[in-house]
Amino acid sequence: MTVHELSEPTTEVVPQPDSSEAPPRPRKGRSKAAMLLVLPTMILLGIVVLYPVVSAMVMSLFKDPTIDPATGKFVDQGFAGLSNYTHWLFQRCTDTTGASVSCPGGTLGSLFWQSMWVTVFFTVVTVTIEVALGLWFATIMNRAFRGRALLRTSILVAWAIPTAVTAKLWYFVFAYDGIANKLLGTDILWTGDTWPARFAVVIADAWKTTPFVALLILAGLQMVPAEVYEAARMDGAGAWQRFRSITLPLIKPAILVAVLFRVLDVLRIYDLPAILTGGGGGDGTATTTLSILVIDQMRQGFNSASALSTITFLFIFAVAYVLVKVMGVNVIDTQEQQRKA
């Protein structure tokens, strides 16, 4: 305990002799105090996160109730084992005779792998664009210039606007008679056709969150000491060389943290595709992400929707695990260093 106090820069308000007396007592008390301080959070998270997630897992093991044609009432169909999971993963549906068949096209059951693919597509493409542009924005913002306040404002407005408003704004920009088509001289059905609808979502998301990525990377950039660049310049390193061999390695942790946050966010994307394209485009499912599929399924049955939401979060956790363990993203340490800089 004392290490912390001693390592702090000593100022005149800390009388040394007394502080050496204090530490032994709190040791036990501190741990107890910490528990008391942490407990409310743990209880609350237990109620709002753990309980729903566990009960979703339990629900996912039961069949959805069906209406009994004789009485017109919902009848529980009992334990389902993993059939809700095989329903999604192997796209197995039950036909009228009760036999297991491949889910017919047009049903939600047939959409799982397409939605997975659409979600992964959005994630890879938008995160790539956001990091590339964010990196460029950050290097510009890192230079000395006047008007920082205006810049910060212009970059934060896009981040702060609710996604629902962003979606409506881009829905207007991408309208058939809208400004996008007029500026480009095109007549693309931005929210109606398969690929234009997908790119409309990508563009709107990139617009909204590139500023956030730029800010995270900028915080990393500001940790790089100017002397390092000076030395490299003296040694004759060109701008690109300096960027490749000095900047990039030093801001890699900041970039990885930005990538982690953005990947986890886009994997659960709902608002933008739901409002901008209605989850449609083309055949009506071109921008249906996993989250949209869960919501659509909820109207048909909570238990199979629970199986799908469980698959979704396990997938997101697997991706987070890979990013943290394999790529070594260290959220806590990186952010701590960025603050100290």
- Provide, rounded to whole angstroms, the least separation between the CB of residue 133 and another protein: 8
CA proximity to 331, closest of 258, 250, 263: 258
- 190, 178, 212, 187: which is closest to 287 by C-alpha? 190
DSSP letter, residue 21: T
* Comparison of 177 and 227: residue with beta carbon closer to another protein: 177
Q: Cβ 12 to another protein, closest distance in Å?
A: 9
Contact 205, 269 (CB under 8 A): yes
Q: In angstroms, what is the minimal distance from the CB of 131 to another protein?
A: 15
Shortest Å, Cβ 225 to another protein: 18
Nearer to another protein, 10 or 102 (CB): 10
Please say which residue, 95 or 168, places its beta carbon nearer to another protein: 168
Pick between residue 125 and residue 173 the one whose CB is nearest to another protein.
173
Q: Based on CB atoms, which residue is closest to another protein, 134 or 196? A: 134
CA–CA separation, 135 vs 216, rounded Å? 9
Q: Closest approach of Cβ 328 to another protein, in Å?
A: 16
Pair 106, 242: CB distance under 8 Å = no
Q: Residue 246 in contact with residue 228, Cβ under 8 Å?
A: yes
Q: Closest CB to another protein among 285 and 297? A: 297
- Distance of closest approach, residue 124 Cβ to another protein, in angstroms: 18
Q: Which is nearer to another protein, 70 or 226 (CB)?
A: 226
Listed in sequence order, the residues at least 6 apart from 59 whose beta carbon sits closer than 8 Å to its beta carbon are: 302, 303, 306
The residue (of 99 and 149) whose beta carbon lies closer to another protein is 149
| d(C-alpha 332, C-alpha 319), whole Å | 18
Q: How far apart are CA 117 and CA 233, in angstroms?
A: 45
CB 99 to another protein: min, Å: 28
Per-residue DSSP letter, 73: S
CB of 97 to another protein, least distance (A): 29
Give the chain's end-to-end CA distance (angstroms, integer).
25
E-only strand ranges, the chain? 66-67, 74-75, 92-94, 100-102
Task: Map residue 86 onto helix, strand or coil.
Answer: helix
Left if phi > 0, otherwise alpha if psi is -120 to 50, otherwise beta: which for 22? alpha
d(CA 121, CA 105): 22
DSSP category for residue 63: P
What gap in Å lies between CA 35 and CA 124, rounded to an integer?
41
Q: Please, what is the minimum distance in Å from the beta carbon of residue 207 to another protein? A: 7
- Which one, 92 or 242, has the nearer CB to another protein? 242
Tokens at residue 20, please? 């050496």
